A and B are shown apart, each in its own frame.
Chain A
Amino acid sequence: MTDPLYDKTGDDPELAALEAALGDYAHRAPLRELPPRRRRRRTTVIAAVLGAIAVAALAVLVVGRRGEPDCRAAGTGFAFAVDGGPARCAGSLAAHGTLPVGAWLETAGAATADVQVADIGRLTVFGDSRVRLVGTGATGHRLELARGRIAARVTAPPRLFVVDTPTASAVDLGCAYELTVEPDGRTRLRVTSGAVSLEARGLAAYAPMDTEVLAAPGRGPGTPVARSASAALGDAVVRFDAGDRSAVPAIVASAGPGDTATLWNLLARTAADDRAAVFARLDALSPLPADISADAVRAGDPGALERWREALVDRWMCVGCFQKSRP
């Protein structure tokens, strides 16, 4: 007797369809490079503990005397390792160590630093960048990016990990993104997985996977745009973010199925006729769920906008749906 479920004998079309769909989640990644194995001999551990205590005590003396944190001391902070060039931690050259609270990590042009963000993720600090650990604890982890570019991958509840830049704060909603402080002072956020909220000056831009958003000095976060968006839409959004409200019709006219994140963000940034036009286009591309009031959305009710956002999330995360057809 055949048993397609247990030993894969015989035919079951429904089972085969389920397997084909769920196979999208099958694990195929190779094993990452293994680190050197830690030595765990008891005497070594005791010596290491005593050594750590001594180093920590020395660090306290050094900090107390000079007012500068010591990146070579064990203690609270983020472990880091530098590759490809020199870097400075708290002003001293460092190839690896622990970035303590309050200290800056600066990478030279060709250097990259791999930073362990507590137990929630990793951060790559690219060359010519300057990063400071503002704080770390059970309630959250906060960094400051003053210059350069970082890539973050975080596994944590929403809003636990925040990176401040000179113009905005990137609030992690999970899972991965790149953040750049450009030479002209603008902050550029590119979300590669999950979603990030870019916030400043009382405004927030919800940027889902495969969108990009800019925050210019003095303006707060702009409007997220899909990386696959047309040039016409991108140009219109730049004009809108610069304060040109007459750009709304051009955004609405050029928005396609992959641009619903842009339109949703605009609902909270427009009013009256402009919002009505944005609503009509978004509703045409992705109909408003029956349990959400159209009048509430047109009125800019935050609760209604939030519920529509939750309904749109599946679409936003399905980037391939708008780039290529799937089997």
Chain B
Amino acid sequence: MDVREATVVELVIAARDGQRAAFATLYERFHRVVHAIALARVAACDAGDVVQDVFTDAWHKLPRLREPAAFPGWILAIARHRAIDAARRRPTLDAAADLAVEPPPRLEAAAALRAIRALPDTYRETLIMRLVEGLSGPEIAAHTGMSPDSVRVHLHRGMKLLRERLGEGGER
């Protein structure tokens, strides 16, 4: 099997059987949405660790995933649980922890990230997938199982709120 051309279901079946190359391809396809879920909840300096923990956890648990097609929702559920656990350990999202990453982000990036985190849950993850990870709306829909219309609505409503917040200067 050429993992580059394989479907998610084919990759899950192969990874479930222990093929690391297939699992690495699943990582390539899903690490950005997992990171977005983490970054919506935890400091930037912790989000990368959450991603690695999620995929290590998934590697161990994959043999118990009965329905390969359920992988996208399954990995995102693991990500949310892991991110919530990490957020409990560091309940305060301070500016320092968002700036303590390599390479150092611009200060305006930290301010914008804080503004996104202050938005309702519904919009946070989707906006981070789009604005931080650079995924298009259709890609977000494909990776999360949301309908394209829902993604479009979340993006536009979230963006409207974000522009208002940044325009107020309250997060700068």
Contacts and interface: CB of A to CB of B under 8 A. Distances in A.
B137 A40 contact: no
Contacts of A249: none
Chain B interface main SS type: helix
8 contacts: A18-B131, A19-B131, A21-B112, A27-B47, A27-B48, A40-B60, A194-B97, A209-B100
Contacts, number: 155
Nearest to A14: B163
Contact of B99 (A18, A26, A34, A317): A317
A317 B136 CA distance: 31
Contacts of A157: 89-92
Among A31, A119, A153, A156: residue with most chain B CB under 10 A: A31
Contacts of A24: 103, 105-106, 109
Contacts of B106: 21, 24, 326
A312 to B, nearest CB: 10
Interface in B84-126: 86, 89-92, 94-97, 99-110, 112-113
Contact of B104 (A119, A175, A194, A317): A317
Interface stretch (A2-10, A53-61, A75-83, A124-132): A2-10
B131 A155 contact: no
Contacts of A175: 43, 45-46, 97, 100
**Contact residues on A (Cβ < 8 Å of other chain), bracket:** 35 or more
A321 interface: yes
A35 interface: yes
A140 to B, nearest CB: 12
B51 A27 contact: yes
A7 B90 contact: no
A29 B133 CA distance: 12
A314 B101 CA distance: 12
Contacts of A208: 96
B113 A22 contact: yes
A37 B60 CA distance: 5
A316 interface: yes
Contact of A34 (B20, B89, B136): B20
Contacts of A34: 20, 23, 56, 59
A38 B86 contact: no
A25 to B, nearest CB: 5
Interface of B: 18, 20, 23-24, 27, 31-32, 35, 39, 42-49, 51-52, 55-56, 59-60, 63-64, 86, 89-92, 94-97, 99-110, 112-113, 128, 130-134, 136-138, 151-152, 155-156, 159, 163
Which of B45, B60, B99 is most buried by chain A, counting CB atoms within 10 A of its CB? B99
A279 B113 CA distance: 32
B109 A314 contact: no
B132 A25 contact: yes
Contacts of A258: none
B161 to A, nearest CB: 13
A317 B55 contact: no
Given A7-B136, A157-B90, 19 more contacts: A5-B159, A6-B136, A6-B138, A18-B112, A19-B134, A25-B44, A25-B47, A25-B105, A26-B35, A31-B52, A155-B49, A155-B89, A156-B89, A175-B97, A208-B96, A209-B100, A313-B95, A314-B107, A320-B103
Interface string A98-109: 000000000000
Contacts of A22: 109, 112-113, 128, 131-132
A317 B45 CA distance: 11
A189 B89 CA distance: 24
Nearest to A32: B52
A15 B162 CA distance: 11
B96 A317 contact: yes
A120 interface: yes
B46 A27 contact: no
Interface string A195-218: 100000000000011000000000
Contacts of B101: 25, 193
A27 B97 contact: no
B96 A195 contact: yes
